Structure 1
Amino acid sequence: MSTVHRRPQQGGGARRAAQRSDRGVRGARGGVSGSGRGSSDLVPRVAVALPAIAYAIFIINSGGWVFALGVLVLGWIAVGELAFAMRRARPPVAAAVAAVTAAVVAARTAGAEAVAVCVAAVLPLAFVALAARRDRRHAAWGVAAAALATVWIGVPLAYAVLLRDLDHGAGLIVDILIGTFLGDTAAYFGGRAFGATPLAPRISPNKTVEGFVCGVAGGTLAVWFAGLYQDWLSGTDALLLGAAVAIAAPLGDLFESLLKRDLGVKDLGRTFGAHGGVLDRLDAALFAIVVGYYVALALGFR
């Protein structure tokens, strides 16, 4: 969606703009399966991760409305990050925030069917917001940006609430996060040690097939190992859940990488300082949560 963030240019000007955009993202590292990042990056990442882990433990353990409001706060921040990155599209931020809020609240109070209605509501909400403007330029791009925020952010957060409300929901969320983040770690070290074959060079040049394989194996085994301490999750079920999460998570990472490359930015936010924003930290988890929910249902959790 390059037209979202820059005006169309002609001839050599367009080529120069593309080159500037490419230079802006060329230095970005490859996320879960990068093979070129220095180990010195690990210590500040851990320092940033500790408060985030404490926050996650608190809201997951609390459940109910505490969990719903906890993920909603993250959702509001994430919508703000995306809206700022896509500001040239002039998205109706209030419409996206309202739709995301409604989806999460609906998940807590009315179930999955109501979430779909709230997600669809972003379109009339965006229309009302844009119709009230005197300057309605880029209205189509604005609606698209609001819809992207609702589907990409609001839907997974609503599914996180639905997942938490299942039997053993807290444990399932912990397992999914373990599979996501330890899979990312396994992919990182696997990519550094064995990475040779590019996975998606036009989207994230530093990701490798070898790193992806190590990440899937590591994430799957991590969930299986966690299941050893959960008498309600069999070894087979843990392997199935882990494999699904470990495959979905890097797709979420690549999805965000695709958007960032098009927008010409390294990170979508600065909530965690040099390590990016909420979306940069949760991109993989947003995909994994939705997949994990449906796997949990298939395994008989209600």
Structure 2
Amino acid sequence: MLRWRFATAAVLAPAILAAIYLGRWTVVAAVLIFAGLAARELSRALRPLSAPAAITVALAPVVLAIPLDEVGALAGVMLSLPVILLWLVVRPERRSLRSAVGALLGSVWIGAAFAHLILLSELPEPVVPLLIAVVGPWISDAGAYFCGLFFGRHRIFPLASPNKTVEGAVGGGALTVLAVGLASAVFLGLPALAAVFLGGVVALFSQAGDLFESLLKRILDIKDTGHMLPGHGGVLDRIDSLLFTAPAVYYALLIIHP
């Protein structure tokens, strides 16, 4: 398992980092691809929600955020609501609470979150904020995993995720605050308090995103959302923390630099 996790990361990480460094349009392309894949996985987990419906509502906030920024992201979410209702009317055989909830999750959880990566890419100096939003959750996940593996004794949320421990959460959070705080101070020139604040935001929302997906999988009684990424499961299993962290980083930076 660990070998496959490293192998997948060795392939995926350079591609994502290259997309960030190459500029806004490679970020847009990567966001559209991953948002579509994530929405497709969500449709499989929440059948009878169809893949086209899930992908449509997930991509709407992303596409509209490109020309319209925050207004576009919000408009994409709002426009998805009548689309969901129309789809449920036109396709009565797929009409169910699972479908409606799944479509809303696709719009808000996936679409709006990825739209904030578009917003981060439009900042005057976007590379470091994007790296913080994307790499910060990796640091949190890795820190929590290894601290839990070597020091974990006390379960933190046994009903949602029995493998998560207090020691893992504390270790992952501390490592994230340290890494993101240092990067923010050095590369963004943030004062110490602001750097620690940003690191704390990334640590908190990374673990919240991971916990949210764990709860969702427990409710749906599934182990993974897919099998696309060996050692990780599906795309949603890999980006669950990012879906909470991207909006959090964007608004934290607005608080720091209004």
Query: TM-score if structure 2 supplies the norm length?
Result: 0.93
- 1:92 CA displacement: 4.2
- 8 Å Cα contact 1:92-1:143 kept in structure 2: no
Moved more, 278-287 or 93-102: 93-102
Runs of at least 5 residues in structure 1 that lack an aligned partner in the other structure: 1-40
8 Å CA contact retained: 1:76, 1:97: yes
Question: Contact 1:219 / 1:242 at 8 angstroms: preserved in 2?
Answer: yes
- Structure 2 counterpart SS, 1:110: helix
Q: Is residue 117 from structure 1 mapped to residue 75 from structure 2 by the alignment?
A: yes
Q: Percent identity of the aligned residues? A: 36
Q: Could you tell me how far 1:121 is from its partner in structure 2? A: 1.7
Residue of structure 2 in register with 1:268 after alignment: 225
Alignment of 1:129-148 (within 5 A): 129-133=87-91, 135-136=92-93, 138-148=95-105
Aligned equivalent of 2:41: 81
Alpha-carbon displacement from aligned partner over 1:59-91 (angstroms, at most 9, x marks no partner) = 21123222112111100000100101111xx11
Deviations 1:130-160 (Å, cap 9, x if unpaired)? Answer: 3222x43543331221111111110110011
Task: Say whether 1:91 aligns with 2:91.
Answer: no
Q: 1:290 to 1:231 in 2, by over 3 A?
A: closer
Matched position secondary structure for 1:136: helix
1:192-215 Cα shifts (integer Å, max 9, x gaps):
232222111100011111211111
AA partner of residue 63 (structure 2): V
Alpha carbons 1:45, 1:275 under 8 Å: kept? yes
Instruction: Note closer, same or farther for the CA distance 1:225–1:178 as it changes in structure 2 (3 Å cut).
Output: farther
Matched-pair contact (CA < 8 Å) for 2:4–2:231:
no
Structure 1 residues 231 and 116, CA, compared in 2 at 3 Å: closer, same or farther? closer
Where in structure 2 are there 5+ consecutive unaligned residues? none
Q: What's the C-alpha RMSD, in Å, of the aligned pairs?
A: 1.8
Sort the Cα spacing of 1:231 and 1:293 in 2 relative to 1 into closer, same or farther, 3 A: closer
Q: CA deviation at 1:282?
A: 0.5
- Ranked by relative contact order (alpha carbons within 8 Å, sequence separation 6 or more), the top structure is 1
Aligned to 1:191, what secondary structure does the other structure show?
helix
Which whole-Å deviations, capped at 9, do the CAs of 1:206-262 have from their partners, x for residues lacking one? 111121111110100011232354153444332211111001101111111111112
1:54 aligned partner: 14
Map residues 95-106 of structure 1 onto 2, 5 A cutoff: 95-106=53-64
Q: What is the aligned partner in structure 2 of residue 13 from structure 1?
A: none
Normalization by structure 1: what TM-score? 0.80
Equivalent residues, number: 258
Work out whether residues 44 and 51 of structure 2, in 8 Å CA contact, stay in contact via their aligned partners in 1. no
Per the alignment, do residues 66 and 179 of structure 1 end up closer, same or farther by CA in structure 2, a change over 3 Å counting? closer
2:180 matches 1:223: yes
Contact 1:65 1:108 in 2 (8 A): no
Partners in 1 of 2:195 and 2:152 — Cα distance? 27
Separation of aligned partners in 2, 1:176 and 1:145:
25
- Give the match for residue 198 of structure 1: 155
In structure 2, the residue matched to 1:21 is: none
Q: Deviations over 1:244-302 (max 9, x none)?
A: 1001101111111111112121110111134211100010111111111111111116x
The structure having more radius of gyration, on CA atoms, is 1
Structure-2 separation of matches of 1:165 and 1:214: 33
Higher helix share: 2
Alpha-carbon contact 1:178-1:219 (below 8 Å) kept: no
